[in-house]
Amino acid sequence: MSARDPSRPKRSRRPARAVLAGRSPAAAALLAPALAAALAVSLTAGCTTSREPSVDDGRSASQKPSPGGDRPSAVAAPVLAVKIDNAPAARPQTGLDAADVVYVEQVEGGLSRLMAVYATRLPKAVGPVRSARESDLELLRQFHQPVLAFSGAQGRLLPLIDRAPLDAVTPSDASGAYFRGADRAAPHNLFLRPSGLLPSAPGAAALTTGFRYGPAPSGGTATASRAVRYPAARFTFTWSASRAGWLVSTDGAATRTSDGLPLAPATVVVQYVKVRASRFHDFLGNNTPYTETVGSGRAQVLRDGRAYDVNWKRGTATGGTDFTTSDGAPVDFARGQVWVVFANASSASSASSASSAPRAPNAAPARAPASPP
């Protein structure tokens, strides 16, 4: 998929670099030298500021806004969502450890791609950045005017992106915010400096996901590891008490940042959704899967070394997702990073169950097809 054509008319919106924090174009111009200088800084993973406590966001049916209080979505600055490459040539990624939420979705050829959402802190760099998909538009409507950073999209999808209630920013829109890394080949070398789009992190109030954070529910099953398989990709999450999180492995290899740090989200959600064919195809003719995130179904929540079988429901695209027990009680997540892995509901009956030991690291999936654009 190609990047946005600069000659194509865009929907009316403020310039990406002046946007987002309410800055005027003049103020943005003053920032331009600093942003240009930032491009010369060596690639690093992220800041060390601790994550702010989560708050009720008003997007969950089980959460009630405080009396007389404003909905956070009406006042909060926008989150930053970045489409991140997950092909073998793109690993290790940069900046994933700073994301508040990481969504995992299936793309062409049975491969996977990530969407990282940033609200409580911004890393110095994120990437490799890749192209958007139609499913992203429905998923992102839960946020108030989010900023979507992506490398481009199929030509027929671009008008839908332009009409979506978000600020879409490609390298053609904000070239100073993107750069090419020298240590890998295109298309796996495009990176974003978030400071080129947002002057600061918007804060936890911008995370209108519907997620709740608090003590672990009762019950659950002691779980050492959990595997999730796509046709040409596999994720394994292995509990680490010392890190209070689930160590991520992709295709049998430990998932680390470009600084060598392991990724260990506090909560992992395996959410069973409908994955259907869309009207779009890649340049090889492979159909682009559409992941339906509005609806209801089953899920499994992993936290604190245990697995909880739950139900999920998202009534509208503008709402968050509720996770509840069989008796309707809301399920709280552990505070920290959350990974949401969208798994095909049609394969739920044959999905990998929780196991007492992780799968052998040399048990790789079938040979993966070429990476989608």
pLDDT tens by residue, 236-254? 999 999 999 999 999 999 9
What's the whole-number average pLDDT of the chain? 81
Q: What predicted TM-score, i.e. pTM, was given to this entire model?
A: 0.78
Per-residue pLDDT at 366 exceeds 90? no
Looking at 199-303, which runs of residues are DSSP E strands?
221-222, 225-230, 233-240, 245-250, 253-254, 267-281, 287-292, 295-303
109 or 343: which leads in pLDDT: 343
- 35, 96, 181, 337, 346 from 195: Cα distances, Å: 8, 16, 17, 21, 41
Report the relative pairing of strands 80-84 and 147-149 from DSSP bridges. Answer: parallel
Handedness of CA 58, 61, 63, 69 (dihedral sign): positive
Q: What are the phi and psi torsion angles at 280 (to 5°)?
A: -110, 155
Q: What is the pLDDT of residue 352?
A: 43
Domains and CATH numbers, the chain: 73-350 (3.50.90.10)
State how far the Cα of 207 lies from the Cα of 202, in Å rounded to an integer. 9
Closest listed residue to residue 77, CA positions, set 199, 233, 211, 221: 199
Mean pLDDT within 259-285: 90
Q: What is the pLDDT of residue 27?
A: 39
Partner residues linked to 88 by β-bridges = none
Q: What is the pLDDT of residue 351?
A: 46
Mean pLDDT within 228-232: 95
Q: What is the pLDDT of residue 306?
A: 98
Q: What is the pLDDT of residue 291?
A: 96
Helical ranges in the chain per DSSP H: 25-38, 72-75, 134-140, 158-163
**Do 124 and 196 contact (CB within 8 A), yes or no?**
no
